[in-house]
Chain A
Amino acid sequence: DTGVSQNPRHKITKRGQNVTFRCDPISEHNRLYWYRQTLGQGPEFLTYFQNEAQLEKSRLLSDRFSAERPKGSFSTLEIQRTEQGDSAMYLCASSLRDSSSPLHFGNGTRLTVT
């Protein structure tokens, strides 16, 4: 499978704990995106990288959230001191740098904060 891979698929954590998700994009894609989707809503943009540089962050990305893409390949999204409102599906996508290239999404990590 050469698509976008996300791990884990599901994560249950207690409020106040830290969690980290991983995304492996399609290998030749140099742009990588993180989105969040809550129940019944469409995905919402969080942040994106071009190679290892984080170029934009949404206001949705509070100080408790941090994303990295250290070598321009895989990326991690960490949430510190999780809150129940963080419960959502976290989606990763990747694309080529070409401005018209579509995004290809992974199947997400579903986070449940109890």
Chain B
Amino acid sequence: DAKTTQPPSMDCAEGRAANLPCNHSTISGNEYVYWYRQIHSQGPQYIIHGLKNNETNEMASLIITEDRKSSTLILPHATLRDTAVYYCIAPGTSYGKLTFGQGTILTVHP
């Protein structure tokens, strides 16, 4: 699986967009990028995943650069309930054996 690098923490004001970056410069051409988040005392929650094209669902948008070396998770209107640890993972052929790094602690302020 590709190594991913995320900032350790970020802040965001409630109602504003939260843009969480992830670097995955060693990703190979057929490796997906997945985003999960974990709210305190709960299991990780799947958010979104993508391969090459930008993706959007009811929770977030995923923007993947053309060279696929980095991506950005966008929460369009952050709420206090979005405060969590966000993990960017590129498992590659280790499908299912996810390697959770330290992630980004996102704190949404009122």
* Chain A positions near chain B (C-beta within 8 angstroms): 4, 31, 33, 35, 42-45, 48, 56, 58, 91, 93, 95, 99-100, 102-108
Contact = CB atoms under 8 A, between A and B. Distances in A.
B7 interface: no
Contact of A103 (B46, B102, B103): B46
Interface of B: 32, 34, 41-46, 49, 51, 85, 87, 95-103
A100 B100 CA distance: 17
B97 A105 contact: no
Contacts of B97: 45, 48, 56, 58
A33 to B, nearest CB: 6
B9 to A, nearest CB: 14
B43 A105 contact: yes
Contact of B43 (A56, A95, A108): A108
A43 B6 CA distance: 17
A91 B96 contact: no
B96 A42 contact: no
A102 B87 CA distance: 13
In this complex, the member of B34, B45, B51, B100 whose beta carbon has the largest number of chain A beta carbons within 10 angstroms is B100
